[in-house]
Structure 1
């Protein structure tokens, strides 16, 4: 019987290499050996059994009919077992030879399984377990990893020395992701989020599979949806001039204006490099949308230049974002701060009034309400100038928008904290009890555009930004989201020190948005409020400007301070409390 089977052995020996090539089993990478590869090996085993059956039938060989099937099963089990054994040996060797960062994957769904599979092939990270909210998955093995409940996070982090938690829930809502980020950040490891498949297809991941949690997610509330159809109608086909176009708010205003389809955007900026940067960034998008862009260098205090640009370009709407806004700097340079913020606003607003343009929107600040610093006081004086012009204007609608602190803008605390954390600390906070309202740059820019749509004349618009947040809490969160810990002042344990330095001159413990809460009026948007506040008479405004110009001409800072005290409601010099420890 054995001698009669030599022909069968010869046929199978010749057929096997051909089937290997046909099913490409020699092309299967060992480290990617998975279900499809196993199916390929199974199909090859069945094909060998079929060749054996056909050969036995054609050569009329004797023997049990079950032999080909037994041979196929033994071949399949042997081929798969050897590959799995080889794969495990490779992984064991790789784990010993390389320092792979242990990570937890939050979410044991399809995205989590794919992420864990990809990480197994990477040399930088090693997935050790899944964490999932679904109780039916707890205790199961998924993709070779055990699934745990969220309450097991502290023990998993301690046992495996987890350095990073990866959230693999791309279909989860933004609110749910923020909730998870806040909860996971408290445990210490760095938190990263797998972007949604839509973002990946749209190329919004920056070429990376994972993104580090953005400081914008420290907002402490949901972003306000300000995508209102009225915005586009207001600016469509108009020539819009943005002063301070190279700044954080001005540049974002320009970007969002493109979606409103204006006829042309006039970029007015004092800084040459800032103007160059926004022009380079904006022009390709504007040209693609068929929108003209004009760049104009100049200072808002230069009346001839401002008036000339408005006339030459046929400006119909002005968004006035140019200002000096850094509190300590303006406190030390109060005359220049007043010249730019008050007289500059007067120049642009009066030029708009004289030209009879359609709308003028002043970008103001919550620091203008009962100010304790020159910057806030000058912004309130600028508001008073604009309110006065509205009383005489039959054509131009003047309005103002008050912001809280804008996340990520130049001079805000978040870029400062990021640099301090990257440098190893300390992170400096002026006082433990300092609170601020926060909004994102897109929210701020969109609020300005909406103000232009809703303006009736003399309005002050504010955004409902929820409750103010303590700056020291944001510092702690940013440190935690960076995968580090706050240094304990007593034991010295931890990574980054948070140091309380004391309030700076003119700095308030907390900010307000309204001078008079009774002045609030609704708008078509539930999160945007309109305040109708008290104003000075035309005679009082003329006297205020005359005194201000005199103080600047004579370089008399004491006169400027007296003027502010007399004309700005609620202005006071705040006593600086001593920072509390602990």
Structure 2
């Protein structure tokens, strides 16, 4: 084929789905790697090199003796990708779904390590939400910003994005020494960054940092978030997720911080586990602490599952694929909302530009996705010899997540993909702040058993707690 070598028996015979820029660039790299490009498939392009439509892949593979198919249409919707993957005659023909971030193909197939979280989002059928950061830059430029949990996966991406918005100072607070060290190494050229080792539960230490750095804005990201682990350690979950949150809120108010943004989770909606319940208490504290704070505005943002965050399902899938192990899914019908780390970080910053005291925001993340479907798409694209094992629900795990208690309690904002929650009620009438303080007196001194704490959370209003 002109420009792409000849139909010889040297090298693997390659068929490329997509005759656009990505496909033609990939063809050049494939030839440079010793492969033989026999032609293209494309639904909207014609010419002597185009051998058929995407639906013709099986017929063309058989007729041309194809060894490997590259799918190179970055703009293709997820349903098109999944349909195409299902038509490739496996296992006789290898398949590689080329990432959006494709640069060079120099091997037989695309590895799982090449798939970014945006590529994975393609598999679940949603385009990433891009936020207009003009208002965010106006708010952050020249300001002093503090981030708790700064060395975690979401916190570190948040720090990176804040540094790009010309702040006077970004103070990163985290208690993990190795993680803080690695964050510092990765951002060693950032003059506006200051890193502090500190536990958000320490009143004196957080007060010291707040008073010395005088932040204009605080993003509270630090939390224990792994559901099964927190089911086994409920007192620690309460001390950190409730006690640490209350401490950050109150120390920020004492220091005269202008705005505090709290990062929550969809697991806080009708929580069935301790982690979700403690995060919901944190949401309720937004309005309680805000009601007594003279000059600090509190708001929160509720996330779905963040792809590639520490301990996420995608991290588990990547590890299993790299080891050529079957993927594990807890239930064939379990569903989750998914978002990328960049979406999460931008959403946190964006919500700081709007809202009133106590507002809680959510991102439009499309429809919930069956985790089994995500696993099946990854196996088909990366290693079809693997299978999917169903291992059973873990303690406290929900079959599906919700972003709000009632669909009618969601109002639009100035951003088309960000919504503010209204009239969310799930707990007993009374003083959340006072109840939290009373409980913390017992949990901090360990004068309470795990079962008693669970009972107290159920009595507070979390009836679904297991």
TM-score, structure 2 as length reference: 0.89
- 2:330 is matched with which residue? 430
> 1:438 & 1:193 partners in 2: Cα distance?
21
- Following superposition, the deviation at residue 128 of structure 1 comes to 2.3
1:266-277 to 2 correspondences below 5 Å = 266-277=171-182
1:547 counterpart = 2:458? no
1:253 counterpart = 2:158? yes
- Following superposition, the deviation at residue 527 of structure 1 comes to 1.1
1:153 counterpart = 2:63? no
Deviations 1:364-385 (A, max 9, x none): 0000010000000011111122
1:397 counterpart = 2:297? yes
1:182-331 to 2 correspondences below 5 Å = 182-186=82-86, 187=88, 189-193=94-98, 205=103, 212-219=114-121, 220-284=125-189, 286-287=190-191, 292-331=192-231
Unaligned runs of 5+ in 1: 1-31, 36-86, 486-494, 574-582
Tell whether the 8 Å contact from 2:266 to 2:402 is kept in structure 1 after alignment. yes
Deviations 1:311-359 (A, max 9, x none): 1111111100000000001111111111111100011110011111101
Q: Decide which of 37, 40, 44 is 1:127's aligned counterpart.
A: 37
> 2:458 & 2:301 partners in 1: Cα distance?
23
- Following superposition, the deviation at residue 566 of structure 1 comes to 1.6
Deviations 1:388-409 (A, max 9, x none): 1011123101011100000111
Tell whether the 8 Å contact from 1:108 to 1:147 is kept in structure 2 after alignment. no
- SS of the equivalent of 1:176 reads coil
Higher RCO by CA contacts (8 Å cutoff, separation 6 or greater): 2
Bigger proportion of residues as helix: 1
> 2:391 & 2:265 partners in 1: Cα distance?
24
> 1:389 & 1:572 partners in 2: Cα distance?
25
- 1:512 is matched with which residue? 402
Distance 1:500 1:191, change over 3 A: same
- SS of the equivalent of 1:280 reads helix
Distance 1:331 1:356, change over 3 A: same
Deviations 1:242-292 (A, max 9, x none): 0000101100111111222111000101001111111222232x33xxxx1
> 1:295 & 1:529 partners in 2: Cα distance?
32
Distance 1:309 1:116, change over 3 A: closer
Deviations 1:429-481 (A, max 9, x none): 11111100111101111111111111311011000111000010110011011
> 1:415 & 1:104 partners in 2: Cα distance?
30
Distance 1:34 1:272, change over 3 A: closer
- Following superposition, the deviation at residue 237 of structure 1 comes to 1.1
- 1:341 is matched with which residue? 241
> 1:33 & 1:149 partners in 2: Cα distance?
20
- Following superposition, the deviation at residue 231 of structure 1 comes to 1.0
> 1:309 & 1:128 partners in 2: Cα distance?
63
- 1:22 is matched with which residue? none
Distance 1:115 1:423, change over 3 A: closer
Q: CA RMSD in A?
A: 2.8
TM-score, structure 1 as length reference: 0.72
> 2:428 & 2:259 partners in 1: Cα distance?
21
- Following superposition, the deviation at residue 542 of structure 1 comes to 1.1
Deviations 1:477-521 (A, max 9, x none): 110110x32xxxxxxxxx112111111110000011112333322
- Pair member with larger Rg: 1
- SS of the equivalent of 1:273 reads helix
Q: Decide which of 331, 355, 358 is 2:258's aligned counterpart.
A: 358
Distance 1:271 1:114, change over 3 A: closer
Distance 1:161 1:308, change over 3 A: farther
Tell whether the 8 Å contact from 1:371 to 1:571 is kept in structure 2 after alignment. yes
Distance 1:115 1:380, change over 3 A: closer
Q: How many residues align?
A: 451
Tell whether the 8 Å contact from 1:364 to 1:402 is kept in structure 2 after alignment. yes
> 1:508 & 1:111 partners in 2: Cα distance?
40
Q: Decide which of 348, 369, 378 is 1:469's aligned counterpart.
A: 369
> 1:191 & 1:443 partners in 2: Cα distance?
26
- Following superposition, the deviation at residue 540 of structure 1 comes to 4.3
Deviations 1:172-225 (A, max 9, x none): xx5437565344333354334387xxx8xxxx9489799644353232211112
- Following superposition, the deviation at residue 293 of structure 1 comes to 1.0
- Following superposition, the deviation at residue 133 of structure 1 comes to 2.0
> 1:563 & 1:427 partners in 2: Cα distance?
37
1:167-182 to 2 correspondences below 5 Å = 167=71, 175-176=75-76, 180-182=80-82
1:559 counterpart = 2:452? yes
Deviations 1:116-138 (A, max 9, x none): 45534533x2222321224643x
Deviations 1:120-175 (A, max 9, x none): 4533x2222321224643xx3x3xxx622323201233455645323456xxxx54
